[in-house]
Amino acid sequence: MIEPSLALQTATRARLLASPQVIEAVDPLDIRDGDTRPEAFPSIVFGNAQVEVAGHYNNYRNVTCYLDLHIWGETPERTKDIGAAVSKALCDTLPVPGFDLTDGLRTERSIYMTDPSGCGHGVVSLSALMGYHL
């Protein structure tokens, strides 16, 4: 079995790559895991993940996964446009192989700021209640 946050990240990346609006805005090679400040703009970088155990039931476990997406754009306005495309791409049911998403994928918050360099930086925070068989 794959670790829950890695499974969520893989499914999220696949969904973003399948979104014409996201791919129109960001080169697929720049949708990746890695450092939080990229060299290429625009970029979507998968940030920190957290997994909390939400319940044990015999051979079944529920966990809540939290995942941050760092969105970088040439300007703060462009960053918000990309963030909107990301949120739209992730609003439908997200299949995560090996896991049941009890409540779907949720966008908990989006925060946008101007980087000291003048470019835009946004953080879209996601959460998912995920169940799986041990």
Task: Report residue 42 as tokens.
Answer: 């625009």
Residue 127's CB is within 10 A of a number of other CB atoms, namely 19
For residue 7, the model assigns a pLDDT of 96
**What is the rounded average pLDDT of the residues 20-34?**
96
- Total structural domains in the chain? 1
For residue 123, the model assigns a pLDDT of 96
Residue numbers of the domain that contains 94: 4-133
Task: Report residue 35 as tokens.
Answer: 């450092």
- Whether the pLDDT of residue 36 is over 80: the answer is no
What's this model's pTM, rounded to 2 decimal places?
0.92
- Whether the pLDDT of residue 106 is over 80: the answer is yes
pLDDT tens digits, 81-96:
999 999 999 998 899 9
What are the strands of the beta sheet with 100-114, ordered from one edge?
31-33, 43-57, 60-73, 120-133, 100-114
**What is the rounded average pLDDT of the residues 33-43?**
86
Between CA 106 and CA 30 the distance in angstroms is 23
Which contiguous run of DSSP H or E holds residue 76? Answer: helix 76-89
Nearest to 108 by CA among 51, 58, 68: 68
**CATH code at position 9:** 3.30.2000.10
